[in-house]
Structure 1
Amino acid sequence: MSRPEILFPLFAELETLDGVGEKTARAFEALEVRRPKDLLFLLPSSGTDRTRRASVRDVTPPATLTVEVEVGSHVPARKKGGPYRVNVRDARLDWALVFFHARGDYLQTLLPTGQRRLVSGKVELFDGLAQMVHPDHVLRPEEAGDLPAYEPVYPLTAGVTQKLIQKAVAGALIRAPVLPEWIDPALKAREGWPDWREAVAAAHAPKDAAGVAHTHPARQRLAYDELFAHQLTLSLARQKMRRGKGISSTGTGALQRKVLGSLPYAPTAAQERAVQEIAADMASGLRMNRLLQGDVGAGKTLVAFLALLVAVESGGQGVLMAPTEILARQHLEALQPLAAAAGVRVDILTGRDKGAERAAKLADLAAGRIDILLGTHAVFQKGVEFQDLRLAVVDEQHRFGVAQRMELGAKGQAADVLVMTATPIPRSLALASYGDMDVSVLDEKPAGRKPIKTALVSAARSDEVVDHLRRAIAEGRQAYWVCPLVEESEVVDLASAVERFQHLRAALGEGRVGLVHGQMPPAEKDAAMARFVAGETAVLVATTVIEVGVNVPNATIIVIERAEIFGLAQLHQMRGRVGRGTQGSTCLLMYQPPLTEGGERRLKTIRDTEDGFRIAEEDLAMRGAGDLIGTAQSGLPKFRVADLERQSALMAVAQMDARALLAADPALEGPRGKAARLLLWLLDQDRAIRLISVG
């Protein structure tokens, strides 16, 4: 599918614009501007009020002033590098323009004595006299119309000036064609948004400060275009994924009943609802592509296992992939008793399996003797063949983008995919990252979970904390002590963790304290973790490697040192390591005073709520979207106009709109569909274009 002709002028080389040479074109790349169309989406970040005034007396310096003056005498610099002054007179006052390092002959032509000029720039008081150093604009009175009353200010980079951007943008705007409308007409009318061409022109010619705000209709429309194009891409991916003729897997419920019968508690309503949603997807002829989102301790593993049993009940196999070997083994331990109750065979495959043992597992897998396989992404390697893979469950989403989700689906000819994440994600971000998926949310804690008491403790009181630990250990309980990764250098962090380890060992007894950190060989790390899980050590000193998934029900205390330097999501994840048994648990956040305002707000948020979704919303408000998921690994799209924090409501509208358009016009062949294709080209959604063209 080739690019539509109407867009050719916008996709030409930058050098085809007036005033842009090869060198400037290279400088523009730092602003991610490579084609004229990129300039259309490089919107002004603010503006300067250039309203005409009669005199310098009409403003209070320092301020921006635009005024017509009569040019008086030139006073050249007395010494090299000194100020060159040009005396001027406006309607009410005499004052001066000041230049440094400027050539006198140039200034004589720019400002000829006795003539009138319009000058605009920043006026300041110097020794009680008004002066303007290096005016931004000097124009003849007849050119005054070229200066807008409100001048847009663009983001800059080395080698690109405001004047240059303004000129290049003007050139790009001339090329912007009138395009057919891709937004739903009712939505556009309701929001009062302008047409695309008008919106672009208005966004580059703000009349006042409201014109550069994200709430301005022109900006809202352009932001919506971006979110809509993004959601169209995700919906196309979802459509393609689902168009894959899924296998219908219908469970009998027999194995699930055995498992539920063996549990000492009943599943929560949220767990039951999620299992039903998943089972319905698996039974349908379409491929499932679902996200299971649940807060720490909401019982995702049970839901995933019941879903895997649907695959087994219907005569197939399932696979559960974890990001690390420790977690894969932990899933194995957690699921072994459930598997025994159901009478199914669960096995694990990791990078450690070698030789004959590995060969035997692979043979069993291919013959269908293993019902459910657990593993790391080693289960993707060549030579790993299932007899009949029906369901793939992926634990801990972020490490897994849309591309890997598609690859995973390819393993079983049309295996259903369920992705689990323990990171509660605010809805707007969930839509940005996982808009191609359907979502099930676990929003209740299982019965018997006691709330975790969270307290803030100043580092000066660490001796009291150690005493508290001593008493708890005497009662047979266990604790985590988390040391922060403060410095960039891992060596220093390691030293702080080792020092804390030695200090606690001296205080609590030799064999009672274990240590885990990032520099350890994996086997030692596993051994230290295993000793703690078995209860041989009572306190585990760790750098943040314990965040995800570790499960020791007897651990009821977690101490987080320098808690103020962690992010909210991280603190919430770490706190979730305790409170997994039946006893009450405590989380002690140790901080180094004085706290910054942000640090204090984070610690109080964690102290006051255990609701991961509330914490995530607060996190989004405090940190912004990119940081929240870690943009590098999140596959979060980079939007040029849209602001996910402030315009999150638009994202949900865009998803509904995109899905509705594709439901009505799956190949984008109708008038609005064809317009939407133009939008996808305009916003470089190449992936979407490929999905349509192969569709």
Structure 2
Amino acid sequence: MNSQLQQSVSVLKGVGDDKETELNQLGIRTLNDLIQHFPYRYDNFEVQPIENLKHGERVTIEGKVQSEAVVRFYGKKKSRLTVRLAVENILVTAVFFNRHFLKKKLNIGHTIVVTGKWDKYKLTITGQDVKFGSSDSSRKMEPVYSATGSVTVKQLRRFMNQALQRFGADIEETLPAAIRKTYKLPGKKEAYESIHFPETAEQLKHARRRLVYEELLLFQLNMQAFKRRERMSSQGVTHTFEESSLFSFIDSLPFSLTDAQHRVIKEIITDMKQPLKMNRLLQGDVGSGKTVVASVAMFGAHLSGMQSALMVPTEILAEQHFQGLQDLFKETDVTITLLTGSTKGKKRQEINDSIREGNVDIVVGTHALIQEDVHFNNLGLVITDEQHRFGVNQRRALRDKGYEPDVLFMTATPIPRTLAISVFGDMDVSIIDELPAGRKQIQTYWVKPPMLERVLFFIQKELKKGRQAYVICPLIEESDKLDVQNAIDVHAQLQQFFTEYQVALMHGRLHSEEKEEVMASFSNGATDILVSTTVVEVGVNVPNATVMLIYDADRFGLSQLHQLRGRVGRGEHQSFCILLADPKGETGKERMQIMEETQDGFALSEKDLELRGPGDFFGSKQSGLPDFKIADVVHDYRALETARKDAIHFINMEQFWEDDSFLYLRNHVKQSGAWSGTKLD
């Protein structure tokens, strides 16, 4: 990067101390930051034929005034001005609000150019900008930037123009000529000038294409460099065992595995048998049998004389995994222990001793596994369940308990391929995309609030059969901002309705011990109805629960609704998911209909991504999703795939590491820390 562009924005004319402070608040400190502050939209002043105008969009038309302007006043100081224009021999009505002063300038026969929102059915334009006289060919597309404080969009345009005029020559070309030629991409300087001040929509398209590809390529180069370095440098553990023994264990299971489970097991076993460290993400819908796959991997580690650790987010989930694994391994010589925060005193010391001495094959636990007093004898396989619930440092701490153990991350959150290759691009991904045979589909119904009483009587019928129910609410207590049912109120209402049954309440503000207690009571059947916020989303297995009622379901994303729905349908009985919602917009209605029709978590996750965008996908920003300046992983999916393919090719070819044409890209990888292995956990 040329040092000229690393200068402070204060070198620009008109940027004093106050303006500099406000620009800093926008993340603009240097000239380079400024030219990378891209417009989020453009005001298009290009006059287009009426037949090309799209209903509801911002457009620009040119016409002759055909009638006197009529002004009507209403309310306090509010006005509505209408005037008829002849546009291509068609009469169009232009409407201006609170611009009554224009009346004097709108003379019959004069030409004006109006920019505003187009209504093609009424042939009306609601004017936001007006220019007297014919259209000015130099004013076609103007960038609109996010601004702050007293910094206006107009000033940002001026600063941007000044920066490009004075320092544009210092914009360094970063992509090799061969790549630019292959994809017909403009040069970097030209791309920056066109993204900020495009003369045509076509020019803008190519500038954006260039900058999006480069941003995604730089990101993917880091991902692939890290992955390659890990493979080259990580002489991990090599698991050696007879596959026939592993298949005997699989055959002894009381159920048949699906084809998808067999495929994924093969991928994992192949990794484990290699001297390179496994770094694999196992995705599978709720109930697809990820735990069984993990147990086969742990049995493989046991056969090769190594220990396995399975880390899960909550104690109750750890206990369920522990009991489940004991059932799976009861006919083998595999030893399993459970270690959680509740394991205290002498018992904890005994468990720690047996782990250190190698008398335990599998340790199931919560973050207690990463405490300083836990020492493994020969840790060869680390598995984390719902890995996005743990921080990077927690995952690394468990991995560091062994000498480069194989790592398997499991998640029941179906992550669209688009995001998987962004967020988890440094991992190999295995997907179980098939449910075990005989699993009953959960019947899903969308109902409006007036039907709530009928729903409650339906739940009562299920309770009489000895079943249990979940009731989920978006908020803990009343909020002025959102008119949504809250867990505390709903809990009180349901206690009044279901007087013969036990109704419990769980939410995020309870201490972890209280949450565990409430959940344990529901798990063992002492509680009939559990009213909760989404803290119940991940984990627990209550086969007797057959109803999931979700209040204000339109407030949740599709993936989250699917996760919640997956809490039921785990036993032999038919289960039901009832979405209580009265969505106002089309998107909300569409989401409810999709939920009724679709049970496939991956299909839902792709749709969720389309409807809500990547920032909201994980429910929070801790997803590890890269913060791109111009690229959008949903809409730029093809560019992401291309960048990934190219990055793999470049990282693995000698020319990339030697040829001067790749110097910038090579330096980027080295400076990012990806090649030294210090980043991208």
Decide: shared fold, TM above 0.5. yes
Deviation sequence 1:540-573 (CA, Å, 0-9, x none): 3333222112112222222222222222111100
- Which sections of structure 1, spanning at least 5 residues, go unmatched? 1-5, 53-61, 67-121, 139-143
Separation of aligned partners in 1, 2:216 and 2:59: 38
Partners of 2:370 and 2:394 within 8 A in 1 = no
Separation of aligned partners in 1, 2:619 and 2:169: 35
Secondary structure of the residue aligned to 1:341 is: coil
Separation of aligned partners in 1, 2:275 and 2:358: 23
The farther-off stretch of 248-257 and 259-268 is 248-257
Partners of 2:476 and 2:487 within 8 A in 1 = no
- Choose which of 88, 98, 104 in structure 2 pairs with 1:129: 104
1:576 has 2:566 as partner: yes
Q: Aligned residue for 2:142?
A: 151
Structure 1 584/202 Cα, relative in aligned 2: closer, same or farther at 3 Å?
A: same
Partners of 1:262 and 1:338 within 8 A in 2 = no
Cα offset for 1:689? Answer: 7.1
Q: Aligned residue for 2:606?
A: 617
Q: Aligned residue for 2:355?
A: 365
- Choose which of 231, 234, 241 in structure 1 pairs with 2:220: 231
Q: Aligned residue for 1:606?
A: 595
Structure 1 230/51 Cα, relative in aligned 2: closer, same or farther at 3 Å?
A: closer
- Choose which of 165, 179, 190 in structure 1 pairs with 2:156: 165
Q: Aligned residue for 1:208?
A: 200
Separation of aligned partners in 1, 2:255 and 2:645: 38
Q: Aligned residue for 1:278?
A: 268
Structure 1 416/172 Cα, relative in aligned 2: closer, same or farther at 3 Å?
A: farther
Secondary structure of the residue aligned to 1:290 is: strand
- Choose which of 442, 458, 468 in structure 1 pairs with 2:458: 468
Cα offset for 1:418? Answer: 0.8
Counterpart code for 2:278: M
Structure 1 200/252 Cα, relative in aligned 2: closer, same or farther at 3 Å?
A: same
Counterpart code for 1:604: Q
1:478 has 2:444 as partner: no
Q: Aligned residue for 1:198?
A: 190
Structure 1 460/151 Cα, relative in aligned 2: closer, same or farther at 3 Å?
A: closer
| Correspondence 1:260-659 to 2 at 5 A | 260-400=250-390, 405-485=395-475, 493-506=486-499, 509-510=500-501, 512-591=502-581, 593=582, 595-659=584-648
The farther-off stretch of 169-178 and 431-440 is 169-178
Structure 1 562/44 Cα, relative in aligned 2: closer, same or farther at 3 Å?
A: closer
Counterpart code for 1:265: F
Separation of aligned partners in 2, 1:619 and 1:283: 37
Deviation sequence 1:584-640 (CA, Å, 0-9, x none): 22112222x364322211111111000111111111111111011245211111111
Separation of aligned partners in 1, 2:26 and 2:677: 29
Deviation sequence 1:31-51 (CA, Å, 0-9, x none): 221211112222233334567
Separation of aligned partners in 2, 1:618 and 1:64: 34
1:185 has 2:178 as partner: yes
Deviation sequence 1:108-163 (CA, Å, 0-9, x none): xxxxxxxxxxxxxx99663632279xx9999xxxxx99x65543333322232344
| Correspondence 1:81-120 to 2 at 5 A | none
Structure 1 198/652 Cα, relative in aligned 2: closer, same or farther at 3 Å?
A: same
Structure 1 666/501 Cα, relative in aligned 2: closer, same or farther at 3 Å?
A: farther
Structure 1 413/495 Cα, relative in aligned 2: closer, same or farther at 3 Å?
A: same
Structure 1 301/431 Cα, relative in aligned 2: closer, same or farther at 3 Å?
A: same
1:34 has 2:29 as partner: yes
Secondary structure of the residue aligned to 2:308 is: strand
Cα offset for 1:515? Answer: 3.7
- Choose which of 9, 12, 15 in structure 2 pairs with 1:14: 9
Secondary structure of the residue aligned to 1:393 is: strand
Cα offset for 1:378? Answer: 2.2
Partners of 1:456 and 1:607 within 8 A in 2 = yes
Cα offset for 1:301? Answer: 0.9
Cα offset for 1:323? Answer: 1.6
Secondary structure of the residue aligned to 1:441 is: strand
Separation of aligned partners in 1, 2:660 and 2:98: 54
Deviation sequence 1:222-243 (CA, Å, 0-9, x none): 0111111111222222233332
Partners of 2:487 and 2:532 within 8 A in 1 = no
Secondary structure of the residue aligned to 2:149 is: coil
Secondary structure of the residue aligned to 1:342 is: coil
Counterpart code for 1:348: L
* Percent of pairs with identical residues: 39
Counterpart code for 2:161: A
Cα offset for 1:314? Answer: 0.8
Structure 1 353/607 Cα, relative in aligned 2: closer, same or farther at 3 Å?
A: same
Structure 1 356/184 Cα, relative in aligned 2: closer, same or farther at 3 Å?
A: farther
Partners of 1:321 and 1:394 within 8 A in 2 = yes
Structure 1 63/636 Cα, relative in aligned 2: closer, same or farther at 3 Å?
A: closer
The farther-off stretch of 452-461 and 612-621 is 452-461
Structure 1 588/184 Cα, relative in aligned 2: closer, same or farther at 3 Å?
A: farther
The farther-off stretch of 434-443 and 369-378 is 369-378
1:251 has 2:226 as partner: no
Deviation sequence 1:446-499 (CA, Å, 0-9, x none): 122111111122232233223222332333333222233275759983421431
Cα offset for 1:180? Answer: 5.0
Deviation sequence 1:41-62 (CA, Å, 0-9, x none): 222333345679xxxxxxxxx9
Q: Which has the larger radius of gyration?
A: 1
Deviation sequence 1:168-193 (CA, Å, 0-9, x none): 3234432453645536835x434321
- Which sections of structure 2, spanning at least 5 residues, go unmatched? 48-57, 63-96, 107-111, 113-127
Partners of 2:23 and 2:29 within 8 A in 1 = yes
Counterpart code for 1:652: E
Separation of aligned partners in 1, 2:626 and 2:433: 27
Partners of 2:477 and 2:489 within 8 A in 1 = no
Cα offset for 1:317? Answer: 0.6
Structure 1 558/168 Cα, relative in aligned 2: closer, same or farther at 3 Å?
A: same
The farther-off stretch of 604-613 and 534-543 is 534-543
Partners of 1:317 and 1:372 within 8 A in 2 = yes
Structure 1 254/171 Cα, relative in aligned 2: closer, same or farther at 3 Å?
A: same
Partners of 2:185 and 2:210 within 8 A in 1 = yes
Counterpart code for 1:380: I
Partners of 1:399 and 1:633 within 8 A in 2 = no
Counterpart code for 1:619: D
Counterpart code for 1:21: G
Separation of aligned partners in 2, 1:46 and 1:544: 36
Structure 1 312/235 Cα, relative in aligned 2: closer, same or farther at 3 Å?
A: same
1:240 has 2:232 as partner: no
Separation of aligned partners in 2, 1:404 and 1:363: 22
Separation of aligned partners in 1, 2:510 and 2:632: 41
Q: Aligned residue for 1:119?
A: none
Cα offset for 1:427? Answer: 1.2
TM-score, scaled relative to structure 2? 0.81
Separation of aligned partners in 2, 1:137 and 1:420: 58
Partners of 1:253 and 1:313 within 8 A in 2 = no
Partners of 1:556 and 1:578 within 8 A in 2 = yes
Secondary structure of the residue aligned to 1:530 is: helix
Q: How many residues were matched structurally?
A: 609
Cα offset for 1:501? Answer: 3.8
Counterpart code for 1:505: F
The farther-off stretch of 622-631 and 434-443 is 622-631
Cα offset for 1:438? Answer: 0.6
Separation of aligned partners in 2, 1:326 and 1:365: 21
